């Protein structure tokens, strides 16, 4: 379908704010731009039952986390959220409002993980931190759901694979929001949406290069989970993408790989909108169904696994 007018406005706004990829910008400049944009667009923080900043043990030192507790009695479950930002940008504050929305709508405790960022901490630092946070959560909650947006969706998929391969208790579900699942530039989505839709192919190349330690990392399943030799035994997944997103086909391909391995999957592609829409369903009507699917999946997993 045609590009949604709200998505067009969002592209203009994000371009003017300096978030669209421009050669030469440093990681720090991109981080500051993302923080500035999120601070500017966020309304008053949505009230939740409680918010607590803490740390959990990590392979390179303590990892900062932020826990959001619902106002009503929560099940013995947690949604462990890994923020997006290409493994380079994003933090607890940039995703604060989204985590509050998720906490309120799911009725489940949400814990946001401030994993190490590239290029200062190359692959597999972010994946290692997220796995450490997952192991911490296993000792405290009956059901642990892993989720994330964009690079965070990549990390959620990787944690699910790691849990299986290391013999850990499996996540109750995995929530993959326009996830990065492969190092590729040939898919129709990557070609057709290469420029002009906020996240661009050139920007993805920069993110990949910031995260990878060397060229061989791209083939590692902990970098490109679509390349795992085996996707059997993974937890139920909900995968959501966007029509005008270079990552659309990666997300669809991962959903297909899970289905082929007999993993229950719900896949939705939001028509007419772009990467970054999650949590903006009040502005973009086609973003509502993916949001509802995620909320329903988290509620179901929290109830079944607690």
List the catalytic residues. Answer: 150, 245, 275
Give the pair of three-digit tokens for residue 50. Answer: 């409680």
End-to-end CA distance of the chain: 40
- In sequence order, what are the beta bridge partners of 69? 50
> Comparing C-alpha atoms, which of 299, 306, 304, 301 is closest to residue 102?
299
Asked if residue 175 lies in contact with residue 298, where contact means CB atoms within 8 angstroms, the answer is yes
Element (H, E) at 63: strand 63-69
Please report how many Cα atoms fall inside a 13 Å half-sphere around the Cα of residue 274, on the Cβ side. 21
d(CA 139, CA 87): 26
- In sequence order, what are the beta bridge partners of 268? 240
Handedness of CA 106, 111, 116, 122 (dihedral sign): negative
Element (H, E) at 241: strand 237-244
d(CA 98, CA 46): 9
d(CA 244, CA 195): 10
């Amino acid at each position: 379908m045609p590009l949604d007018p709200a998505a067009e406005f969002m592209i203009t706004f994000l371009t003017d704010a300096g978030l669209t990829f421009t050669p030469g910008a440093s990681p720090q400049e991109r981080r500051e731009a993302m923080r500035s944009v999120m601070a500017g667009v966020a309304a008053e923080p949505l009230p939740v039952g409680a918010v607590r900043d803490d740390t959990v043990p990590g392979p390179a030192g303590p990892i900062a986390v932020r826990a959001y507790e619902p106002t009503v009695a929560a099940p013995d479950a947690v949604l462990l959220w890994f923020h997006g930002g290409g493994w380079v940008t994003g933090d607890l504050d940039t995703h604060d409002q989204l985590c509050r929305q998720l906490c309120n709508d799911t009725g489940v405790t949400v814990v946001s993980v401030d994993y190490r960022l590239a290029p200062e901490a190359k692959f597999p630092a972010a994946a290692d931190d997220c796995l450490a946070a997952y192991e911490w959560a296993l000792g405290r909650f009956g059901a642990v759901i892993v989720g994330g947006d964009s690079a965070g969706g990549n990390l959620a998929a990787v944690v699910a694979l790691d849990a299986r391969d290391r013999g850990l208790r499996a996540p109750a579900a995995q929530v993959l929001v326009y996830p990065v699942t492969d190092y590729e530039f040939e898919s129709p989505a990557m070609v057709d949406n290469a420029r002009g839709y906020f996240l661009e192919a050139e920007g993805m190349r920069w993110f990949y290069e910031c995260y990878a330690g060397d060229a061989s990392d791209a083939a590692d399943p902990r970098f490109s989970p679509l390349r795992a030799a085996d996707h059997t035994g993974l937890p139920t997944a909900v995968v959501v993408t966007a029509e005008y997103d270079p990552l659309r086909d990666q997300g669809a391909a991962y959903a297909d790989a899970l289905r082929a391995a007999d993993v229950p999957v719900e896949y939705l592609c939001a028509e007419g909108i772009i990467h970054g829409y999650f949590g903006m369903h009040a502005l973009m009507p086609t973003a509502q169904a993916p949001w509802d699917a995620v909320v329903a999946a988290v509620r179901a997993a929290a109830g079944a696994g607690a």
